Structure 1
Amino acid sequence: MKTLSLNGIDMPALGLGTWPLSGAQCRDIVRAALESGWAHVDTAAMYDNEKDVGAGLRASGRPRDGYFLTTKVWHDQLDPERMIKSCEDSLDRLGLEHVDLFLIHWPNSHVPLKEQMEALLELRARGWTRAIGVSNFTAALVRQAQDLAGGALSLNQVEYHPQLSQKTVRAALDDAGMALTAYSPIQRGAVREQQVIRDIAKHHGKSEVQVTLRWLVQQDNVAAIPKTGNPARLAENAAIFDFELSEEEMDAIFALGSGDGRRVDPDFAPDWDDE
């Protein structure tokens, strides 16, 4: 499987999203994913499923160095002391001594960004996380945060799919030396309705979901974390490394994107980039 380098730490380009899974369904899909070869799982304190994710990780029998785990701190816990406590609580719920990537889930302008970055750096210094990053940060926030972090940020996790361009953020991440993880990568299944993607899928003998995930991970420094609670979907979502999209096919899918395709836009979101 393709991996991305996060300041020297390898992260599989395809991961399992777990929102809004919980309970036995969450535990069982995490276990099934790791048993079938997946090696990257994404969760967050806000998902209220870290205990279930941890149970699935243990049930899989995988050693700790056999998978990559991301979790996040919610935007109302970004004061340094609260962020450190949030990470400690996440580790307790997961039953782990460290995560591989710890992210600020959403920006919060009420806490100085410098203090947020200092807290992230402290968590890394303590060994509670191997890499640090952000989520739902705009291009301007990416630039400011990376400068304050002294280049230590590895990644920005954002909504990204064929109908949402994210061109401005992607350029800022390239300049900052950061990767991108795409959440909601298949538009909650809406990619199946895109005729351009349908035609490309038919050409390759693949599904629209597979073509979309391939389009994402074929880009430089882009990962994707599709969510599924159905074990049968795991094999389909993972079967994207045995074909390649042409430059023309990649461009045809890029052409679908704009700044108007956003589906996740809570009232506490930042002022988004136009594209």
Structure 2
Amino acid sequence: MGTNDADAVTPECCPTTSGGMPMLGFGTWQHDDPTQCVESVTTALETGYRHIDTAQAYDNEESVGDGIEAADVDRDDVFLATKVWISNLAYDDVLETARASIDRLGVDALDLLYVHWPARTYDAEETLAAFSELYDEGLIENVGVSNFLPEQLEVAVDVCDAPILANQVELHPLLQQPELRETCADYDVDVVAYSPIARGEVFSQPELQAVAEKHGVSEAQVSLAWLREKGVTSIPKATSEDHIRDNWASLSLELDREDIDRIDSIEETARQVDPDFGPWN
């Protein structure tokens, strides 16, 4: 049984995917204040997280790197991911800005580099050729894509010389994306869920409230545990230590078949991230 008590003993480790990616990560979107970002990343790592996710567009890579440096955790134990923004996806721009991201993060290489969106300057062959070059040079350990529809993922897998480890998409009980998850499984691509608690919408969802009450945990923990049951990696954002620890405690929550079926049956759909350049628009 899980807990929503921030003072409770939290799990010591996290399951990983077959590609070695920890299945519960720490998201840093909207961590705009440098001091707070450093503190939150450090707190997350010292709580037990070993997967940190950022992006060029978050404008916090330097602070994220400082947080990793400040934590009492070896860099080699941290799975670090960032993303190339849509204005930087031409071949030369990928190479230049990825190296700049590595410098800002203060590391020698990235564990995972994503195409943030298949938009604006994205060209499958040109963009992914640059990612493959970075992979061959050892500057990135894995290539990832983000916000790719099934058909875009199929093209990316076909044209990219380096293997594609993951597709990061919005995914939670209010946006379950079964077709996309199936396509990722077909191509042996891990699914990483951003906004895994639907920007707080899960707290007012009746099915999730019922499961949370049954187990004596938060709705956030239920959502994260459900995603883990689906084989999906989550990268929830949190700022306060209480929320960081509550999300981590979801690793102790085991949902039963009734819980999973109850969440699977949710018919409400609520996409939280929907820019004009989203490929579904």
TM bracket (short chain): over 0.9
Contact 1:43/1:70 (8 A) holds in 2: yes
Partner residue in 2 for 1:140: 151
Determine which of 7, 17, 20 is the counterpart of 1:4.
17
1:155 aligns with 2:188: no
- Mapped to 2, the partners of 1:77 and 1:151 lie a distance apart of 19
Q: Identify which of structures 1 and 2 has the higher relative contact order when contacts are C-alpha pairs closer than 8 Å and 6+ apart.
A: 2
Deviation string 1:66-104 (CA, Å, 9 cap, x unpaired) is: 111110000111111100111100011101111100000
Partner of residue 189 from structure 1, selected from 200, 208, 222: 200
Q: Are residues 1:249 and 2:259 paired?
A: yes
The structure 1 segments of at least 4 consecutive aligned residues displaced by more than 6 Å after TM superposition are none
* Root-mean-square deviation over aligned CA pairs: 1.4
Residue of structure 2 equivalent to 1:228? 238
* Aligned residues of 2:21 and 2:79 also touching (Cα < 8 A): yes
Partner of 2:5: none
Task: Specify the alignment match of 2:134 in structure 1.
Answer: 123
User: Of 255, 261, 271, which residue of structure 2 is paired with 1:262?
Assistant: 271
Alignment of 1:20 onto 2:33: no
Q: Is the 2:86–2:121 contact (alpha carbons within 8 Å) kept by the matching residues of 1?
A: no
8 Å Cα contact 1:162-1:257 kept in structure 2:
no
Instruction: String of CA shifts for 1:4-62, please: whole Å, max 9, x gaps.
Output: 122xxx11100111011031010000011111211111000010000000010000032
Q: Specify every segment of 5 or more residues in structure 2 that has no aligned partner in the other structure, as ranges.
A: 1-13
Matched, 1:204 2:243: no
| Identity percentage of aligned residues | 40
Q: CA deviation at 1:269?
A: 1.2
| Count of residues in correspondence between the two structures | 267
Q: Deviations over 1:137-181 (max 9, x none)?
A: 001101111111257101000001111121121111011110111
What 5-or-longer segments of structure 1 have no aligned partner?
none
SS in structure 2 of the partner of residue 129 of structure 1: coil
CA contact (8 A) 1:121 1:149 kept: yes
- Compare the two structures and name the one with the higher strand fraction: 1
TM-score normalised by structure 2 residue count:
0.91
Paired residues of 2:41 and 2:67 also in contact (CA < 8 A): yes
Which residue of the other structure, out of 121, 125, 133, is the alignment partner of 1:114? 125
Alpha-carbon separation, structure 1, partners of 2:280 and 2:245 = 37
TM-score, normalised on structure 1?
0.93
